[in-house]
Structure 1
Amino acid sequence: MESGFFCEKCGMIKSRCICSNNSKPGPVLKKISKQAVSDIKNRYPDVDEDIIENFPFSEPRRGQFEIISRIQEAIENGYRYIILEAGTGTGKSAIATTLANIYNPAYILTMTKQLQSQYAGEFGFPMVKGRGNFTCRESDFDDRCDSGTCQTVPNSHNFVCEFGVTKSPFEEGMFAFNDAYGAPLYFRSNDRCNYWNQKARAVESDITLMNYDYALLELAYVQHFGKRSLMILDEAHNIEDKLMRRMEVNLSNKMLEKDIKKSIPRNMMSYHDPKEWTLFLQSIYQDYKDISVTKLPKNKADRINRTKLRLSELISNMEHHPENWVVDAETGGMSFKPLKIDIYANERLFKYADVCLFMSATILDQELFCKWLGINPEEVYYLSIKSAFPASERPVHLKTVGPMSQRAIKRTAPKTIPILEKIIEHHKYEKGLIHTHNYKCQQYIMKKIKDNRLLDHKSTDREYKLRLFEKSKDPLVLVSPSMSEGVDLPYEKCQFQVIYKIPFPYLGDQQIKNRKDKDPKWYAYKTVMTLIQAYGRGMRAEDDYCETYILDGNIKMLFNNRMYKSLVPEFFNEAVVKD
């Protein structure tokens, strides 16, 4: 690809760059020539022309055209939901790109902003991100848009930013976009706010990249984006978690005292029945409604308005489905969390597209997946693709020391150290990743093994340390509790892994404990899913190689317990080496 084709600041094609003054998005990048398209048609005469003409590369991977054809047929046959379970190496992003081009307007939703940028960089689709990702044009201090003048100055609702948008047209050609209701917005000038410029391009584009967090806020609340033909949901096994976190409401005494001069009564901190909280929530909701936001900075006014909206929704949800909510004391406040989101998922997300395509390497059980997302199985087309990676190139070695559960870990953890040291020495010229599942295990390893190759991180510098690990030519070993997903470490970037502790969800969280009590298979599913995701971090291509070692004796549960065993995919079982 041409050097310098993408803007280093926003990651978009320069012709559509959000940092430029271009008024309209250009065409979606087609990376192959007409001659290449003609050549593909000659080699694949039975493949629909729409697929070939919208495929982003000059040569498909094995099986890609068949997968796209089957999904296309399912869409034409009227399926509203399509599940594609396919492992790394299938080329799911190229499949998504082809289908988005065919069935636009479309959304592509990713787990993280980093994955958004990868899609944008590879395929040229515009992406939309929140204000905190852009520099304010009005500020002299390099402030971000979420802390710029239009957001932070008292009476900022009266502030007129020459770079911003308005509901009234200024000049011909200043049109920005129509919102979900068809109401137009206009730019005040050609010298545009970075945030609004990228958003306008994304709204007007036939294909838009969003991360889940932004999409759940934007589609259901802000509503500048309307319904589209297709929504592609990448890493779809995380949708339930994302929706749960979006619906969760946390009330801190510090916030309540600051906003409405109230706090949660001490005697109520032990109340766990949602019905006992109805009157209190209604009372503080009324207090928030009584706040005059006209003289507040816009960012504070927006926060107050969001709090009102979320309190209103919480009260309604807890009144209609009190059995579905968990109330628990947190440090300095209370949390209100849903147990399940099956009754909310369509309204919050799925209804914003005619067809939803779910993609993941770890669906594991399509019936459970549909059940937990409130999807009618009769409306689902399910497609599962076997892993193309040879089991011999991704072996799993069981070097167990006994269970690493909370009760047993003090006894078994010391036994892990000599085994870890042997593994690290065996791979002394290679980079590796140790999955600890929590920071306590991470710090135990760092304390007990004095080796300059070991690299750890905090939650605050995770991305920096990951980049450092990826770019280093030294045989570093990254010790981390949070690299099981969204991390791509092919070839020499990671040639061995250690699953130090089986990733059982934390039962100290009342939401997780209650859900496990009601639905034990959900707990097993979450455990297996996280394990399989971690297993896939270092094996990213057919000609790649990565060895995995498991130290936690609780792995035996996945092979012996019927409930767990039914969820473990065959491609994992076939890789286990009988040492």
Structure 2
Amino acid sequence: MQFDSYGNRIRTGASVSDVDFKKASMHEPLSLMDALDLVGKYAGKEPTQKQRDIIKKIQHAMESGYKKILLSAPTGTGKSWIAIALSLYLKSSTVLTSTVLLQDQYKNEFGFFNTVRGKKRFLCEQSNRVFDCTQGYCNDCAYRPQPESYTIFKRGTMAETITGDDLPRKCPYYDQIEIGKKSSFVAYSYASYLSHLLSGEEMPKRKLLVCDEAHELDEELANQLATNLNGFYGEILGIEMPKFSVDSNIDSIRNYVNSFSDTFQKENLS
């Protein structure tokens, strides 16, 4: 299932990939190399020798007991094929990407993958699709689909499909959220996944986690966990901000942060 920039479902007809998909989904992969060949059949072309060499090394690492594997390869190597092969072999995966375009790449090239995006990407049914979903009131929303209304077929295979109640009006944001929770194969952006995780939401457990463009993870994590301390608000609380520099002692920074936090808590309790 795909969505356009307005949150509307995009329905596509048969394609070459659909035909290859029927052939490729006839059996489950018995090895990582077999899974890579299935990916090739789905895409309609043979895997490269470089991809086969990488798969052999990953297979050896897994058989040796490694749980965390770092793959660094030039652009154009076909790392997404490696990720898809691993996903099919393990029958479930969560792929994290740094951009929506990379999510689209997984979805467009491998239609059995689902994507989960933020509220700004969808138009809210409560506003008759005038405003995006960040403007809606999600609690007790009449258009929010129920988790139990979704059914999954042929789980963990290329032929996996998920169906839900075909309501005339249904929140597109929560529709893709529920599909993402049920799906064996789903791609999140780092921002979306971390926001769900850090809010305390229980995320589906899958056998494989792929961090695409992993160097972006630290920055996104820092963005979501960071707190900006503004001197203006410090003055309101009666706290003077010291002059910090690269030579500042870490204790002076810690003391300022603690005093800011303590005073703020006292103000809330009073």
TM-score (structure 2 length as normaliser): 0.73
Give the alignment partner of residue 67 of structure 1, picking from 45, 51, 54.
Answer: 54
Structure 1 pair 141/209, CA: closer, same or farther in 2 (3 Å)? Answer: closer
Structure 1 pair 207/63, CA: closer, same or farther in 2 (3 Å)? Answer: same
**Structure 2, gaps ≥5 residues long:** 153-163, 245-251
For 2:8 and 2:75, locate their aligned partners in 1 and report how far apart those are by CA, in whole Å.
24
Task: Give the superposition deviation at 1:130.
Answer: 1.3
Aligned to 2:116: 128
Task: Give the superposition deviation at 1:247.
Answer: 2.1
Aligned to 2:74: 87
Within the alignment, does 1:232 sit opposite 2:210 as a pair?
A: yes
Task: Count residues in correspondence.
Answer: 240
Within the alignment, does 1:53 sit opposite 2:41 as a pair?
A: no
Identity %: 27
For 1:62 and 1:31, locate their aligned partners in 2 and report how far apart those are by CA, in whole Å.
25
Secondary structure at the counterpart of residue 82 of structure 1: coil
Task: Give the superposition deviation at 1:31.
Answer: 6.3
How do 1:408-419 residues align onto structure 2 when only pairs under 5 Å count? Answer: none
For 2:267 and 2:99, locate their aligned partners in 1 and report how far apart those are by CA, in whole Å.
36
Give the alignment partner of residue 277 of structure 1, picking from 239, 243, 257.
Answer: 257
Aligned to 2:131: 143
For 2:116 and 2:183, locate their aligned partners in 1 and report how far apart those are by CA, in whole Å.
11
Please tell me the root mean square deviation across aligned C-alpha atoms, in Å.
3.7
Structure 1 pair 175/6, CA: closer, same or farther in 2 (3 Å)? Answer: closer
Amino acid at match of 2:38: E
Within the alignment, does 1:174 sit opposite 2:120 as a pair?
A: no
Task: Give the superposition deviation at 1:98.
Answer: 1.4
Aligned to 2:187: 209
How do 1:188-207 residues align onto structure 2 when only pairs under 5 Å count? Answer: 190=167, 191-207=169-185
For 1:188 and 1:287, locate their aligned partners in 2 and report how far apart those are by CA, in whole Å.
48
Secondary structure at the counterpart of residue 275 of structure 1: helix
> Larger RCO: Structure 1 or Structure 2 (Cα < 8 Å, ≥ 6 residues apart)?
2
Task: Give the superposition deviation at 1:204.
Answer: 0.6
Secondary structure at the counterpart of residue 228 of structure 1: coil
Within the alignment, does 1:219 sit opposite 2:197 as a pair?
A: yes
Task: Give the superposition deviation at 1:99.
Answer: 1.1
Secondary structure at the counterpart of residue 32 of structure 1: helix
Amino acid at match of 2:207: S
Describe the superposition over 1:41-99 as per-residue Cα deviations: whole angstroms up to 9, x where unpaired.
9xxxx984343234442311232122123213322332111011100121111111111
How do 1:380-391 residues align onto structure 2 when only pairs under 5 Å count? Answer: none
For 1:225 and 1:31, locate their aligned partners in 2 and report how far apart those are by CA, in whole Å.
33
Amino acid at match of 1:73: H
Secondary structure at the counterpart of residue 227 of structure 1: coil
For 2:21 and 2:151, locate their aligned partners in 1 and report how far apart those are by CA, in whole Å.
32
Task: Give the superposition deviation at 1:253.
Answer: 6.4
Describe the superposition over 1:366-417 as per-residue Cα deviations: whole angstroms up to 9, x where unpaired.
xxxxxxxxxxxxxxxxxxxxxxxxxxxxxxxxxxxxxxxxxxxxxxxxxxxx
Describe the superposition over 1:195-215 as per-residue Cα deviations: whole angstroms up to 9, x where unpaired.
100100111100110111112
- Structure with greater Cα Rg: 1
Secondary structure at the counterpart of residue 238 of structure 1: helix
Describe the superposition over 1:494-540 as per-residue Cα deviations: whole angstroms up to 9, x where unpaired.
xxxxxxxxxxxxxxxxxxxxxxxxxxxxxxxxxxxxxxxxxxxxxxx
Aligned to 2:97: 110
Secondary structure at the counterpart of residue 207 of structure 2: strand
Secondary structure at the counterpart of residue 210 of structure 2: strand
For 1:36 and 1:205, locate their aligned partners in 2 and report how far apart those are by CA, in whole Å.
19
> Does the 8 Å CA contact 1:109/1:209 hold for their aligned counterparts?
yes
> Does the 8 Å CA contact 1:12/1:126 hold for their aligned counterparts?
no
> Does the 8 Å CA contact 1:116/1:209 hold for their aligned counterparts?
yes
For 1:78 and 1:30, locate their aligned partners in 2 and report how far apart those are by CA, in whole Å.
36
Structure 1 pair 8/146, CA: closer, same or farther in 2 (3 Å)? Answer: closer
Structure 1 pair 143/286, CA: closer, same or farther in 2 (3 Å)? Answer: farther
Give the alignment partner of residue 236 of structure 2, picking from 263, 268, 282.
Answer: 263
Secondary structure at the counterpart of residue 250 of structure 1: coil
Task: Give the superposition deviation at 1:144.
Answer: 0.7
Describe the superposition over 1:532-579 as per-residue Cα deviations: whole angstroms up to 9, x where unpaired.
xxxxxxxxxxxxxxxxxxxxxxxxxxxxxxxxxxxxxxxxxxxxxxxx
For 2:219 and 2:126, locate their aligned partners in 1 and report how far apart those are by CA, in whole Å.
37
For 1:83 and 1:227, locate their aligned partners in 2 and report how far apart those are by CA, in whole Å.
21
> Does the 8 Å CA contact 1:163/1:188 hold for their aligned counterparts?
no
Task: Give the superposition deviation at 1:121.
Answer: 1.6
